[in-house]
């Protein structure tokens, strides 16, 4: 089954404790990206990647890191989480890097930082 898989789905952590949210897709998509969803703000892009070893900042990259060492994986790293990073996070992939590519989303990861 074609899918984007994120883990963990739910996480409660404390300020400053490094964490990684994994994302993996089995559709051989070149384009992958991370979003955070907050009430009233829609989804905002954190980072994206157009291919292996090619990543770039989205609109809200502060406090996050990513890497793209393999085509299928695109982990999101919070080196020192803070309460303002409490959010619902989505990983997504797309079959095309241009403007025609719809996004395939993972199921979301709800993160709470205390």
Interface residues with other proteins (CB under 8 A)? 31, 33, 35, 40-45, 48, 50, 56, 58-59, 88, 90, 92, 97-105, 107-108
Closer CB to other proteins, residue 69 or residue 98? 98
Q: What is the largest CA-CA distance in the chain?
A: 40
**Residue 50 burial (10 A CB sphere; 0-12, 13-18, 19+):** middle
> Which residue, 13 or 37, is less far from other proteins as judged by CB?
37
Nearer to other proteins, 18 or 57 (CB): 57
- The least CB distance from residue 44 to other proteins, in Å, is 7
Contact yes or no for 36/92 (Cβ under 8 A) = no
Contact 56, 48 (CB under 8 A): yes
């Amino acid at each position: 089954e074609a899918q984007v898989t994120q883990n963990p789905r739910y996480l409660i952590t404390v300020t400053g404790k490094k964490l990684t949210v994994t994302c993996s897709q089995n559709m051989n998509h070149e384009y992958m990206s991370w979003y955070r969803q907050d009430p009233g703000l829609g989804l905002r892009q954190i980072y994206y990647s157009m291919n292996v070893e090619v990543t770039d900042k989205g609109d809200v990259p502060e406090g996050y890191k990513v890497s793209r060492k393999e085509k299928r994986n695109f982990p999101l790293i919070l080196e020192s989480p803070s309460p303002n990073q409490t959010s619902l996070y989505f990983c997504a992939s797309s079959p095309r890097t241009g403007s025609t590519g719809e996004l395939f989303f993972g199921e979301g990861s709800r993160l709470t930082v205390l």
